[in-house]
Amino acid sequence: MKKIILVTVVPIFISAAPIDGFLQQLEAQAKKENLNFSGFSAKRGEQIFTSKHIGKRGKKISCTSCHTGDLKATGENIFTGKKIKPLSPKANPKRLQNLKKVKKWLRRNFKDVYKREGTAQEKGDVLLYILKN
């Protein structure tokens, strides 16, 4: 009798949303940095996302320049023309799933728009805004 066994590697997915853990980390950090901190605010997040600033290229730019004002809409990288899928996890379930990717883009995008990294509070606020819209 012959048996053929196919060995494959099945990745194990952890079910709890990784973004929740990240928000908790950011919260702990925000409390350390700001004694008056009393939780993240989607309203402040919206302000961070939609307000214009003199960015890395010396021109006025906001998060909406590439992602549009509608988080469920397809955006476009203003520097290269490449399309960007919607940021909202409600429109695009792949969003905010991979923490390494989330951290990488927050770092890059804050540098482009604010010419500095975001604080823990700013990152939490803006993530909450994206999650809720």
Partner 1 sequence: MKKIILPILIGAIGVTFAIADSDKESNIYAKKTLTKQNAKLEPLYKKECSECHMAYQPEFLPKRSWKKMMATLSDHFGTDATIDKEDSKKILKYLSSNAADSKRVYGDFRKFLKSIPKDKTVMKISEIPYFKKEHREIPKKFIAQKEVKSFSNCKACHQKADSGDYSERDINIPNYGRWDD
DSSP codes of every residue in 51-102: --EE-TTSSEE-HHHHH-S-TTS-EE-TTT--EE--S-TTT-TTTT--HHHH
Partner touching 131 among partner 1, ligand HEC, none, CB below 5 to 8 Å by kind: none
> Least Å distance between CB 8 and ligand HEC?
28
Partner touching 65 among partner 1, ligand HEC, none, CB below 5 to 8 Å by kind: ligand HEC
Residue 100 binds to partner 1 (criterion: CB under 8 A): yes
When binding is defined by CB under 6 A, the residue of 78, 107, 115, 117 that contacts ligand HEC is 78
Nearer to ligand HEC, 15 or 80 (CB): 80
Cα–Cα distance list, 105 to 4, 102, 123 (Å): 45, 5, 11
The answer to whether 77 and 71 have CB atoms below 8 angstroms apart is no
Q: Which residues are at the interface with ligand HEC (CB under 6 A)?
A: 49, 61, 63, 65-67, 77-80, 84-85, 87, 95-96, 101-102, 105-106, 108-110, 112-113, 126
